[in-house]
Structure 1
Amino acid sequence: MRQQSTELSIRTPGQGLHEFTREVVAWVTDTGIAEGLLTLFIRHTSASLLIQENAAPAARRDLERWIARIAPESRDYEHDDEGPDDMPAHLRSAVTATSLTIPVRDGRPALGTWQGIYIFEHRRSAHRRQVALHLIGE
């Protein structure tokens, strides 16, 4: 049994789903681990991780609109230290995921045909997000 870990720094230009599947696949391939379990963890409280449709942009747009409806920007929040998108970003992160677990088979994440790995940026401004990766296997 072997383990490998790294941290990816991903630039997000603002709110929305930002795919970084290629970066993850490249790192997994470089480890030489053929079978195992990959864990991804975003080290932030105002962005999250998703596995989502990567072929139809309309699916991502619908998801972005839905999350904006369930946690809208508003001046009604007490926590607004960094502006009106601050607390909604935390709420959106709370109802999505901060970590993902993906099986690795034949040296690649075992994603479905139309699945991609995304950072869901919940803040309006650009950020550099840190995602920790850990792979255990053989």
Structure 2
Amino acid sequence: MLKEFKDFAMKGNLVDIAVAFVMGAAFNKVVTSFTAGIVSPLIGLIFQSDFNDLKYVITPGIADEAGTVTGEIAVLYGSFLTSLIDFIIVAFVMFMIIKGINKTKKKEEEKPAPPAGPTQEELLIQIRDLLKK
């Protein structure tokens, strides 16, 4: 059973998927950092607040002496919009990568065929003519 598991785990496709998963997770961190550090503050200028703190308060909470609010019920649409922007950025980058890969594949497929040599009949005629000499 251990040998079967090892064979399964070391198949090329599974290893490729694992590598892609790790790279995707790292890329997601980069995009999240980009969105939180660059995009959100710029969009926050429009709303005159921190983009991630945008919310619609349904029921206000009670603030204690330390300033912590408890019992507040709110729709955190700023956080949702940040995640949506992250998704759109990742989807666009993946689209561009796939588009580039497909373009490369098309170029490989469109390579001109090597020039055709003489046909079999032409070779036989050349051999016949050489033998006549």
Q: Same fold (TM over 0.5)?
A: no
In the superposition, the TM-score normalised over structure 1's length comes to 0.27
Higher RCO, 1 vs 2 (CA within 8 Å, ≥6 residues apart): 1
Between Structure 1 and Structure 2, the one with more strand by share is: 1
Larger radius of gyration: 2
Between Structure 1 and Structure 2, the one with more helix by share is: 2
